[in-house]
Amino acid sequence: MTIREFKMPDVGEGLTEAEILKWYVQPGDTVTDGQVVCEVETAKAAVELPIPFDGVVHALLFEEGTTVDVGQVIISVQTEDGAAAEAPVQEAAPAVAAAVPAPVATEPEEPAAAARQPVLVGYGVSTASTKRRPRKAAVGAPAQNGTAPAAPAAPAAPVLPAVPAQPTGERPLAKPPVRKLAKDLGIDLSSVVPTGDGGVVTREDVHAAAAAAIAPQAAPAEVPVAAPAAAQAVQAAEVPASARETRIPVKGVRKVSAQAMVGSAFTAPHVTEFITLDVTRTMKLIQELKDDPDLAGLRVNPLLLIAKAVLVAIRRNPDVNASWDEAAQEIVLKHYVNLGIAAATPRGLIVPNIKDAHTKTLGELSTALSELVATARDGKTSPADMQNGTLTITNVGVFGVDTGTPILNPGESAILAIGAIKLQPWVHKGKVKPRQVTTLALSFDHRLIDGELGSRFLADIAAVLEHPRRLITWA
């Protein structure tokens, strides 16, 4: 028998340490190649670590809550002597799964949304590089040494490519986090058609199979939101009744989010403009679309049409979709839109985004929003899902407030805050009538967007929402 050591792997992005959040195994437990043994939190995200060999747990070298440097041994495993020839321990792959028990805030207030909980805009994290070590000759799950790939939004009606199915009797090729995702979604990997290199099943393949088998996930407003990190930490600690102060360590995603907020606020010159508008016609259209058999099974809500209005306005004002390259002193115009949707989680504020949102039909955008919510609710929002956003939407209306002045997600050009939609007296056709009214606030980087461009962009969004037929005439 041989004692093998599993070290805290380098999860990329220049990170040098991670905190052990939870052990999934104990001494004496049997583990297999690719099995997740613990969850750790880096400054970027929560990460599940699969072990790269078979054996019996000999010892856990650190307790939960301990911060460990990269390269330190965290667990030892007793293996058969023949297992020593396997790949080095350092090649173990952290399956990135940012823990997001709380869903995203994706729709402004509706009269019936009594269960909706408030969330605010957050800041995304960088994705680590993806690299996979060669698969062993024996049939089994390949161990990885990179993060899980991003989970692109599944199309409304997924079309499976013409790739040969997995050979009968052979274990399908898939990374450990993909296997876990399939298990959580109830998907048999042997029935999934792989699209990855070498016949590997990807997260996208699993999501496509799930979308084809089940209806879209529940609406964001129907999912409870966990308390913010600080509040949860206070609740978890036993605070004496006589205590006058409680100190909460700032670390992990929350620490990076705070740094990003400060960096954004004091680096990008923010300008915020506001517009109050009548969205009665949009609210009526939402109800009509809900009754449309062509959209049966899809989630139709205010955010869906607001997101579509933003995409139409970007098409009319393409210069707003840009970023500032400080090193090169260049403005980088983006010919794609990765639309961010703000979310609050117990570990901090994040902004997962819908990749290439500009290419999606209304139905595809609805599916993408539903999947974004389901992924967040299941705690599987990866750093890649929050990388390379171009513009963000955040809903402050869930608090019942009219508007806010949001801070830019770093690297993006603008962020749109949606206020509460309320019945208010409004002059309509020369008479004061009760109408559905909301206020939009647009914060933008004045290095990229001047007052004229920002005003036109915000006015176009409002114009579409006031007269939603422009979704067609301006498209």
Non-local (6+) Cβ contacts of 383 within 8 A are 44, 45, 96, 98, 124, 125, 126, 127, 128, 147
* 161's tokens: 């490519």
Q: Are 374 and 396 in contact (CB under 8 A)?
A: no
Nearest-10 Cα torsion for 5, 9, 15, 21: -70
Q: Which of 270, 335, 358, 446 is catalytic?
A: 446
Give 3-state DSSP helix, strand, coil % of the chain, rounded to 5: 30, 25, 45
Q: Are 232 and 226 in contact (CB under 8 A)?
A: yes
Q: Which of 152, 158, 218 is nearest to 192 (CA)?
A: 158
Displacement of CA 470 from its chain's centroid (Å): 30
- Structure-token match 């019945």, residue found: 423
DSSP string, 72-126: -EEEEEEE-GGGGGS--GGG---EE-B---S-B--S---TT-TT----------P
Three-class SS state of 234: helix
CA angle 141, 143, 148 (to 5 degrees): 100
Task: Answer yes or no: 446 catalytic.
Answer: yes
DSSP string, 155-209: PSS----S-PPPPTTSPPPB-HHHHHHHHHHT--GGGSPP-SGGGPBPHHHHHHH
* 130's tokens: 């993806």
Non-local (6+) Cβ contacts of 235 within 8 A are 227
DSSP string, 242-283: T---------HHHHHHHHHHHHHHHHS-EEEEEEEEE-HHHH
d(CA 441, CA 404): 7
Catalytic residue numbers read: 446
